[in-house]
Amino acid sequence: MMNKQKNLHALFKPNSIAVLGASRDEKKIGHIVLRNILESGFEGKIFAVNPNAQSVLDIECFSDYVSLPETPDLAVVALPAAVAVSLLESIAQKGTKNIVMFSAGFKEAGLAGAALEADLQAAAKKYDLNILGPNCLGFASTLCNVNATFSQAENRAGNLRFMSQSGALASGIFDWAKQQQIGFSEFITLGNKAVIHENDILEYWLNQKTKNNTEVGLSNYQPIGMYLESISEGAYFLELAKKIAKQHPIFILKPGHSKHAQQAIQSHTGSMAGDDKVQRTAFAEAGILYCEGVEDMFDMAKIFSWENAPRGPRVAIVSNAGGPAVLSTDALEKEGLQLAVLSKKTIAKLEENLPRAANVLNPVDVLGDALSARYHEAIEDVLAEKTVDALLVIVTPQIMTEIEDTAELIGTLSAKYAKPVVCSFMGGSAIEAGEHVLNKYKIPSFRFPERAVKALSVMWHWQQRRHTLSIENTKYTLGLFAKSKIHKIEKIIQTVKTENKVLSLIEAEDVLKVCGIKTPPSEAVRTMSEAWQFGQKHGLPFVLKVSSPMLIHKTEAQAVFTNIYTEADLKKIWARIVATVKKLPKNSDYVVQAQKQIESGLELIAGIKNDANFGNVMMFGAGGILAELIGDSNLVIAPITEKNCVSLLEKSKAFTLLRGFRGHKPYAIKKLVSMLIKFGWLAEAVPYFNEMTINPIIVTATEAWAVDPRFILKQK
Amino acid sequence: MMNKQKNLHALFKPNSIAVLGASRDEKKIGHIVLRNILESGFEGKIFAVNPNAQSVLDIECFSDYVSLPETPDLAVVALPAAVAVSLLESIAQKGTKNIVMFSAGFKEAGLAGAALEADLQAAAKKYDLNILGPNCLGFASTLCNVNATFSQAENRAGNLRFMSQSGALASGIFDWAKQQQIGFSEFITLGNKAVIHENDILEYWLNQKTKNNTEVGLSNYQPIGMYLESISEGAYFLELAKKIAKQHPIFILKPGHSKHAQQAIQSHTGSMAGDDKVQRTAFAEAGILYCEGVEDMFDMAKIFSWENAPRGPRVAIVSNAGGPAVLSTDALEKEGLQLAVLSKKTIAKLEENLPRAANVLNPVDVLGDALSARYHEAIEDVLAEKTVDALLVIVTPQIMTEIEDTAELIGTLSAKYAKPVVCSFMGGSAIEAGEHVLNKYKIPSFRFPERAVKALSVMWHWQQRRHTLSIENTKYTLGLFAKSKIHKIEKIIQTVKTENKVLSLIEAEDVLKVCGIKTPPSEAVRTMSEAWQFGQKHGLPFVLKVSSPMLIHKTEAQAVFTNIYTEADLKKIWARIVATVKKLPKNSDYVVQAQKQIESGLELIAGIKNDANFGNVMMFGAGGILAELIGDSNLVIAPITEKNCVSLLEKSKAFTLLRGFRGHKPYAIKKLVSMLIKFGWLAEAVPYFNEMTINPIIVTATEAWAVDPRFILKQK
């Protein structure tokens, strides 16, 4: 499934670069990128290829790639799509393995472009080329001082690593970073991802020897930011990200495609495990921080570049304004942080150092007329306090406020104490000079205090999460992987008519039985008398169901009839079954199935869908009336392990009921867990299903029954 | 309950102002405020009072207030608290009715200050003075060109009205507004609210004749922003706000005090109707827009100042970057807006005007290399489209992007089409010049596209909401207001021992019976045989309960015993009752009560609590197991009308069950509604209860029963 690992070191740390399409026209990409490479302080050799020019920007031009005096590590191609593809062979023959391709006009530009992209991919495979793009903005690196983009990326060193599928968004990030004085280690734009994918970049970063940050003020991390519109191989992506997330913060901004998700709903599982929810769950499980929007992404980039995560959730606030301090206190609570409780000693120090009217309990109010000296006292007292894990400083621009001096002292004190410090200088023009000073000291500042609190909270939650991340494997201990079982299931599936995407009830029950999942006794019945015989044999009451590929939602379609206790009940119901069957399209397949009715149990739902990005996703929660009322939809993402099944059950609201609620006897939880594990194994071992739903599972005090399975095959 | 309406016109539009404590020291408040008044272009007379100076800022100083040559409309007091209070008499004697008091050192500064504030309030009452503050920042108005604050408020005319309980936050808002070029009509800071409250200001604004905005680019509204830390008379506040909200957007930022709310929990109702939830519900019902934080407040201030609400939810997006456009599409859906569907004609126009690679379906992608001319074509085509109610323009700074020109043309086109236009110029330094141009044209711009979408959405939701706002009254049509009933209830309450805050079960049931609310037959029993007689008389099964002021959560305390069918059941349970009673503190009051058990009904909860801010709040939702699982807590705020009771029921999740879910027979909804109305009447008519909970109400197919009422009296 996953590609061979690519060696991208020479691509992103080349010793020599050739620009194909180097142009003398200052507005052309081929000019801009050459200028950027020259101006970025790149120390390797730089070549230019242009058959129509002697030189560009004082760099001698060669008429074609093969004429170059040596083999460049990297070829940067700033030429139209068709030309670019036609040159790949000569680039490869020269021995260059790494290519950055800016050219647009590929997959994104219709059928002809897609064909061109296929040619590009074929060439890449044939010659073993690493191609970044096409249709990308290139990359910039301060590890080897090269700006191989045609954008105004600033050449400021830093610890932030970033990849973006959108070049336009990258331009916005560059502009923002410049203003905020945030430096990058590497910034890579992916474009069409024809050859190099996000996973290649993550592999490269995972294996990268990260040097210690030498610059004062940077955090201990090499944070990774990502803007991705698609993820090619989700399972591997999550595995790589999880490995990274234990060491370095990794955050993602990804559109949710929620509309698309709604269109694709095929079943209950589909609707309860929408794309957006699957995505969020997947990221959360892998320790990837999820950005709700561009603002979140910018805030995370800033705080993780400059601050280490707090050792605990206890935050102190120092403010010259009561209102914003109270708002921040609310925000702390909302975001799962705590207001630090100051010790008596610290309170005494604050009382000594601050005016009588000041509030010396956290949040510390230094009052509106506070000059920088008073901020200094308060901040130092609070940072020295053991019970404080992080500090938020709020400054509102009062007429006497010493904005820049206050920012300076925050910078100095922050360097003295190894605790994260964030600021909110609230206002407009007046506070900008202060923000500039804070940026210089690499103190993350946020225009709104709630944003500062949220950023702190993201750090703290990552800090807690990273230690619990572990790489699971899919080993099942129930001996379920027996090949004979898989063969039996495959045989059942083979009998399903090719035009039917959905297994009949009886076929689905047979699949479950092979897995060792209990289903209530059931039989196909052709007549009323056969039905009554079933009831006599298996006990009353019983259920009759009409099963047909044409019926999707059984209850609504008058296709499930419960509570048949007597022959009179049966007679009434049989008439309704006849009516239901009559309504089916002519020549429809259908079966009338009798099933023993499981009584006095709790209804639950379990489902597994095969997500296009992340593979199998298991959903579990309360069923029946509760499903609609409480929305108890809980997810785990592949690999669906035994451990995952247990935690899925435990995090459901239904678990409260299962354990025995308010004196009720507990239900057969072990049997249920065993069912979920077997169900998970089915999905992992037999990859033919697009969606599988058991709705309901009925759990009694002694047994867990799969009452109504609905299995949808993948499109062939 | 409410104060006499104050006449604040002369306060906020004075013809003459005297500054007490005018100072020559440039750093003193008494200097700054005089300079601000002088520099703000105030056309009335200005006086200064200072016994130790000849003149300040070329204004002649008088030695005391009575020496002033005439009676100023407004006295601005910049003196220490004690001095300020001592001068009130002479100010009043001179005939001045309106005072702005900056002085700190009142209620906020401990007991001595509180006493001083009481003196101030007494003087205000005695002399009928309007006092703004104390401990406030003053006010600024462009209606009469006066900046009577000691802050750097800019004197820019606009339509925004604002009140802030925090002066420090006001300084931040001034600074922000200056940068964003947002003008105010009036900006009032409230300080300690010793005399003038938020309701006085709202009354003043409600009765204000709002002139049409003459300035190009302003919206048709006179929006009102509020930062409040407390609300004094919540019910009246909501009534005023509702009247305003039909005409003008009104938004609030208010800390939630969520910790405080948690401490005050006394019962189930308390925990299910936390302060924050009550507050949000109250604001929503009154049409007040709720700010989640300072950022929301700034965004609302900007968009309502400059744009009219859209006529519909259909938004077009024009962007030079695909990624941010997709993110904005996600945001539209999340915020309840829609992506406009463009007509064939518009699509054809766009195809003609844009390059082939551009996306001409909404979101319209003008591509990364778009110059301002291309933006012009796309924006004009889209704004002319009938299916478009609002437009979002996204600009990312590509190397060729004409940022300022693009901003200019957006300004020009926006003036041409009467549709709201919002922008997101994404980046840092490079896009600032563009934002400046947008501010000049009064086009709301937001650094992040999701914020722009949220701001549009708030407008649209207000637009829908305002038309549905109606002033309810509390008239009950069930003849419940009979005085005799109130007397009966008062008699019951009078018998409750003064040391008990909680009514006994039997007392509470008696109260309910007076209201005509059905309770199951019940009796106090002293012996097992009395209990059995009760069962024989009223039918089996029955319930036994131990009721005592010492028992708060009955179930947990082993004090409710259900399902007594036989004498053997009774014997077992009686032994447990004896055990429970033994565990009570010595000499505790207790009653053992037998109650008929209501079977096969649905459990619900209703509660009413008296909220400190907003008066009676009724809570209703599913009970029993469901209560814990689904959190079905729905609120209405006083006045609790019949209409409110019905809508409360209808918005509950329990309503799905009550109507008859999945073939189940409907429950006695009419009886339940009638019970809620009577319960609401009880709270409105008999103001002795702090909290009343009926948990559970059991509704059967034919009747609604109040099974377990718990009534807590107000502290005396």
Question: Under an 8 A CB cutoff, do A357 and B447 touch?
Answer: no
Please, are residues A444 and A307 in contact by the beta-carbon 8 Å criterion? yes
* pLDDT one-digit tens code per residue, B152-162: 888 899 999 99
Kind of pairing between the strands at B591-596 and A289-290 = unpaired
B456 CA to chain A: closest CA distance, Å?
Answer: 16
Cβ contacts of A400 on chain B, cutoff 8 Å: 27
Kindly report which listed range (B213-217, B287-291, B552-556) carries the lowest average pLDDT score: B552-556
Return residue ranges of chain A for CATH 3.40.50.261: 9-304, 309-466
Amino acid at B565: Y
Peptide bond into A541 cis (omega under 30): yes
**What is chain B's mean pLDDT, rounded?**
90
SS3 B166: coil
* pLDDT one-digit tens code per residue, B636-694: 988 888 888 899 999 999 998 898 876 678 899 999 999 999 999 899 888 899 999 99
B258 CA to chain A: closest CA distance, Å?
Answer: 7
Distance between CA A435 and CA A423 in Å, rounded?
Answer: 9
Please, are residues A315 and A389 in contact by the beta-carbon 8 Å criterion? yes
Residues contacting residue B8 through CB under 8 Å, at least 6 positions apart: B98, B130, B196, B200, B201, B204
* pLDDT one-digit tens code per residue, A311-320: 999 999 999 9
Please, are residues B711 and B689 in contact by the beta-carbon 8 Å criterion? yes
Chain B, residues 9-48, CB within 8 A of chain A, namely 27, 32
Chain B, residues 290-309, CB within 8 A of chain A, namely 292-295, 298
Closest residue to B333, CB basis, from A174, A259, A295 = A259
Distance between CA A179 and CA A168 in Å, rounded?
Answer: 17
Question: How does residue B263 score in pLDDT terms, banded at 50, 70 and 90?
Answer: very low
B609 CA to chain A: closest CA distance, Å?
Answer: 23
Please, are residues A662 and B625 in contact by the beta-carbon 8 Å criterion? yes
Q: Which helix (H) or strand (E) holds A431?
A: helix A429-440
A320 near B CB under 8 A:
yes
Please, are residues A344 and A361 in contact by the beta-carbon 8 Å criterion? no
Note the pLDDT of residue B498.
65
Burial of B163 (0-12, 13-18, 19+ CB in 10 A): buried
Note the pLDDT of residue A2.
47
Please, are residues A427 and B172 in contact by the beta-carbon 8 Å criterion? yes
Three-state SS string over A532-583 comes to HHHHHHHCCCEEEEEECCCCCCCCCCCCEEEEECCHHHHHHHHHHHHHHHHH
Question: How does residue B634 score in pLDDT terms, banded at 50, 70 and 90?
Answer: very high
| A554 HSE (CA, 13 A, CB side) | 25
Cβ contacts of B323 on chain A, cutoff 8 Å: 164-166, 168-169, 227, 229, 255
Distance between CA B623 and CA B602 in Å, rounded?
Answer: 8
Superfamily of segment(s) A309-466: Succinyl-CoA synthetase domains (3.40.50.261)
B326 near A CB under 8 A:
yes
Cβ contacts of B171 on chain A, cutoff 8 Å: 321, 368, 396-399, 427
Q: Hey, of B27, B108, B135, B330, which one would you mutate to test binding to chain A, going by the most A CBs within 10 A of its CB? A: B330
Spell out where A136-213 has E strands. 138-141, 146-149, 157-164, 184-189
Distance between CA A74 and CA A98 in Å, rounded?
Answer: 5
Q: Fold for A472-520+598-716, please state it.
A: D-amino Acid Aminotransferase; Chain A, domain 1 (3.30.470)
* pLDDT one-digit tens code per residue, A143-167: 999 999 999 888 899 999 999 999 9
C-alpha distances in Å from residue A65, one per residue of A58, A71, A74, B62: 18, 9, 12, 90
Question: Under an 8 A CB cutoff, do A169 and B104 touch?
Answer: no
A9-304 is a CATH 3.40.50.970 domain: no
B263 near A CB under 8 A:
no
CATH assignment of B538-595, given 3.20.10.10, 3.40.50.2300, 3.30.1490.20, 3.40.50.2020?
3.30.1490.20
Q: Is the ipTM of this complex over 0.85?
A: yes
Distance between CA A305 and CA A158 in Å, rounded?
Answer: 8
Distance between CA A443 and CA A447 in Å, rounded?
Answer: 13
Please, are residues A229 and A166 in contact by the beta-carbon 8 Å criterion? yes
Q: B715's torsion region: left (phi>0), alpha (psi -120 to 50) or beta?
A: beta
Note the pLDDT of residue B455.
98
Return residue ranges of chain B for CATH 3.40.50.261: 9-304, 308-466
C-alpha distances in Å from residue A396, one per residue of A399, B162, B170: 10, 18, 9
Closest CA to B319 of B388, B285, B264, B370: B370
Helices (H), B128-274: 167-180, 198-206, 234-245, 258-263, 268-272
* pLDDT one-digit tens code per residue, B350-381: 999 999 888 899 999 999 899 999 999 999 99
Token output for A83? 């030309």
Supply the DSSP string of B596-626, one letter for each residue: EPP-S-EEEEEEEEEETTTEEEEEEEE-HHH
Note the pLDDT of residue B435.
96
Distance between CA A666 and CA A649 in Å, rounded?
Answer: 14
Note the pLDDT of residue A98.
97
Note the pLDDT of residue A479.
59
Token output for A294? 């561009």
Note the pLDDT of residue A663.
66
Token output for B585? 């503190």
Question: Under an 8 A CB cutoff, do B178 and A429 touch?
Answer: yes
Cβ contacts of B175 on chain A, cutoff 8 Å: 397, 426-431
Distance between CA B511 and CA B500 in Å, rounded?
Answer: 16
Return residue ranges of chain A for CATH 3.30.1490.20: 523-596
Bridge partners (DSSP) of residue B338 are B314
Token output for A228? 């991705």
- Top-level class of domain B308-466: alpha beta
Chain A, residues 174-193, CB within 8 A of chain B, namely 174-180
Cα radius of gyration (chain A): 32
Question: How does residue B145 score in pLDDT terms, banded at 50, 70 and 90?
Answer: very high
pTM, full prediction = 0.91
Helices (H), B208-286: 234-245, 258-263, 268-272, 275-286
B333 near A CB under 8 A:
yes
Please, are residues B282 and B252 in contact by the beta-carbon 8 Å criterion? no
Sequence-distant contacts of A619-624: CB under 8 A, at least 24 apart: A619/A269, A619/A272, A619/A273, A620/A648, A620/A649, A620/A652, A620/A654, A620/A676, A621/A272, A621/A652, A621/A653, A621/A654, A622/A652, A622/A653, A622/A654, A622/A657, A622/B629, A623/A654, A623/A695, A623/A696, A623/A697, A624/A696
User: What share of chain B in percent tops pLDDT 90?
Assistant: 72
Cα radius of gyration (chain B): 32
Cβ contacts of B657 on chain A, cutoff 8 Å: 625, 629
Note the pLDDT of residue A93.
96
Q: Fold for A523-596, please state it.
A: Dna Ligase; domain 1 (3.30.1490)
Note the pLDDT of residue A288.
97
Burial of A215 (0-12, 13-18, 19+ CB in 10 A): exposed
Question: Under an 8 A CB cutoff, do B333 and A630 touch?
Answer: no
Cβ contacts of B116 on chain A, cutoff 8 Å: none
Token output for B244? 């305003």
Question: Under an 8 A CB cutoff, do B629 and A656 touch?
Answer: yes
Return averaged pLDDT per consecutive 10 residues of chain A, 716 residues in all: 74 97 94 96 96 95 96 97 96 97 89 94 97 96 94 89 94 94 95 96 91 78 94 91 96 74 40 72 94 96 97 96 91 94 97 91 92 97 97 95 97 95 95 96 96 98 91 60 86 80 87 94 93 94 85 63 91 92 84 90 92 89 80 86 88 89 83 94 89 94 93 82
Distance between CA B238 and CA B470 in Å, rounded?
Answer: 12
- When pLDDT is averaged across residues B205-225 and rounded to a whole number, the result is 85
Distance between CA A251 and CA A562 in Å, rounded?
Answer: 50
What is the architecture, at CATH level 2, of domain B477-520+598-716? 2-Layer Sandwich (3.30)
Note the pLDDT of residue B214.
66
Q: Which helix (H) or strand (E) holds A689?
A: strand A689-699
Q: Hey, of B111, B169, B431, B652, which one would you mutate to test binding to chain A, going by the most A CBs within 10 A of its CB? A: B169
C-alpha distances in Å from residue B256, one per residue of A450, B85, B299, B306: 13, 33, 20, 29
- The DSSP code for A67 is G
Distance between CA A18 and CA A63 in Å, rounded?
Answer: 12
A201 CA to chain B: closest CA distance, Å?
Answer: 20
Residues contacting residue A578 through CB under 8 Å, at least 6 positions apart: none
Return residue ranges of chain A for CATH 3.30.470.20: 472-520+598-716
Note the pLDDT of residue B567.
93
Note the pLDDT of residue A557.
57
Cβ contacts of A449 on chain B, cutoff 8 Å: 293-294
Q: Which helix (H) or strand (E) holds B301?
A: helix B294-306
